């Protein structure tokens, strides 16, 4: 069965352009032109992904993304958001609401399709990683049962926070997280922890696992937004 992608934008020409190109790629598409219709179609049609414009009439795109993430039935549904070019605030807000990726308008259709394939692959990796007891990538190995970490067969000693950070990153490769998101997911309810703390522990983690901490291959910086683990290839 082809993957179903819900395209949400109040500009019909953009929806038709994306739909035409996705169907050429073998996807099935569903169209919506406002936030309320999008939420109804998410529930009724069960798409495999949502491409979501942020500037929607009625319910805004950020709220649509928030509703999707708060519903247990759709909390893992992949979302790619469309943002105005250079609007960094909307990008960060969208990622904090749980979007998996973003594409700025005007966009290149081939780039959008490439990102769709990448996000769908990551969604499958994330689903599988919940069942896995080990992670391995380019010499890095993490045994989730014993908390043993090694690089090229050599054991690496990490502190408890670095272990939690690395586990979180390796279970969500390729996805960008802001500092505030990492504080929520990794530190949880710990009090008096500032966003700067994330940078400190990222630096410690890189010193332990990267061959060159200034040119990391595992924990990557996304300038102006946050961090991600490398895309698995």
Rg (CA), the chain: 19
The pLDDT profile of the chain, 233 residues, written as one tens digit per residue, is: 899 999 999 999 999 999 999 999 999 999 999 999 999 999 999 999 999 998 898 899 999 998 998 888 898 899 999 987 666 777 777 787 888 888 888 889 999 999 898 888 877 766 555 557 889 999 999 998 888 999 999 999 999 999 999 999 998 888 888 888 888 788 876 556 777 889 999 999 999 999 998 899 999 999 888 999 998 86
The full DSSP string for 77-111 is --EEEEEETT-HHHHHHHHHHT-SEEEEES--HHH
| CA 64/CA 215 separation, integer angstroms | 37
Taking CA atoms, 54 is separated from 59, 83, 98, 103, 152, in Å, by 10, 6, 13, 11, 43
Domain ranges of the chain: 4-128, 132-229
Positive or negative, the CA dihedral 19, 23, 25, 28 is positive
CATH code of 4-128, in short, is: 3.40.50.2300
* Domain 132-229: CATH class, spelled out: mainly alpha
């Amino acid at each position: 069965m082809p993957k179903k992608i819900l395209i949400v934008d109040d500009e019909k020409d953009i929806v038709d352009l994306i739909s035409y190109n996705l169907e050429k790629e073998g996807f099935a598409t569903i169209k919506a032109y406002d936030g309320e219709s999008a939420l109804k179609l998410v529930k009724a049609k069960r798409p495999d992904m949502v491409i979501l414009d942020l500037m929607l009439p009625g319910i805004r795109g950020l709220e649509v993304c928030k509703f999707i993430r708060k519903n247990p039935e759709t909390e893992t549904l992949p979302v790619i958001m469309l943002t105005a070019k250079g609007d960094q605030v909307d990008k960060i807000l969208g990622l904090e609401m749980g979007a998996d990726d973003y594409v700025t308008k005007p966009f290149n259709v081939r780039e959008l399709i490439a990102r769709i394939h990448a996000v769908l692959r990551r969604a499958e990796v994330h689903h599988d990683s919940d069942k896995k007891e080990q992670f391995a990538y380019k010499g890095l190995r993490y045994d989730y049962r014993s908390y043993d970490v090694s690089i090229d067969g050599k054991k690496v000693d990490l502190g408890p926070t670095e272990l939690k950070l690395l586990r979180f990153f390796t279970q969500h490769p390729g996805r960008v997280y802001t500092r505030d998101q990492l504080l929520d997911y990794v530190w949880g309810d710990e009090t008096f922890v500032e966003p700067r703390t994330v940078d400190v522990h990222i630096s410690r983690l890189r010193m332990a696992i990267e061959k060159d901490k200034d040119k990391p291959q595992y924990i990557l910086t996304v300038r102006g937004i946050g961090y991600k683990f490398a895309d698995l290839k």
